[in-house]
Amino acid sequence: MNATLNPPARRPLALWAETAGDLMMPNPVSVRDSATVREVLTLLLDRGYSAAPVIDQAGRPVGVLSRSDLLIHDREQVEHACPLPEFYHRSELTTPAGERLPRGFQVEKVERTLVRDLMTPAIFSVQPETSAARVINEMLSLKVHRLFVVARDGVLVGVISTFDILRHLKTDNS
């Protein structure tokens, strides 16, 4: 017996959004340009974000910091291990105030690099009323994964990622 499989009818996908305002994730988590690399790294990892917009004191976007930026920074850091002394004097195991340090105490090297030193200082943005078709064309032509949505006064009000666009693709009956 010959069985023929009938493939399901193809249903075209449609974008169920008209404007950037429809596509965007409003009130995005952002970071100040004066934040430390460690603060942003913690934010990105804890929230599962691949990047965060960087804003100035007025809330206007001035750049973006991505995990890629942080990986490149880490790769470019050259640290040389300091040779450990074979013994310590008791005075070296106290704080400047004379408090004794507990056994196994270690000193962590503090990362002092600021976000403004690593961020990509390019802003690709649209306004909330920009058409969804234009948003997609901008992302494709600029070859970017996200666009910022800014109000007329330049304040960041949302972010559109490629995932946000995918969330708005639906079939006619879904």
Report domain extents, the chain.
15-170
**Poorest-confidence range of 87-91, 104-108, 122-126, 135-139?**
87-91
User: Residue written as tokens 């004794």?
Assistant: 100
**CA angle, corner 171, sides to 166 and 174, nearest 5?**
100
Q: What is the mean pLDDT of residues 15-36?
A: 95
Let me know: does 138 contact 155? Beta carbons within 8 Å: no
Chain segment 60-96, per-residue pLDDT in tens = 899 999 999 999 988 887 665 555 556 666 556 677 7
Q: Give how far Cα 56 sits from Cα of 7, 61, 114, Å.
A: 54, 6, 13
Strand ranges for 16-152 from DSSP E: 25-26, 31-32, 51-55, 61-66, 125-126, 146-150
User: Residue written as tokens 């009818």?
Assistant: 9
Note the pTM of the prediction, 2 decimals: 0.73
H helices of the chain, where? Answer: 20-23, 37-47, 67-76, 115-118, 132-142, 162-167
Tokens of 17: 């959004």
The fold for domain 15-170 equals: CBS-domain (3.10.580)
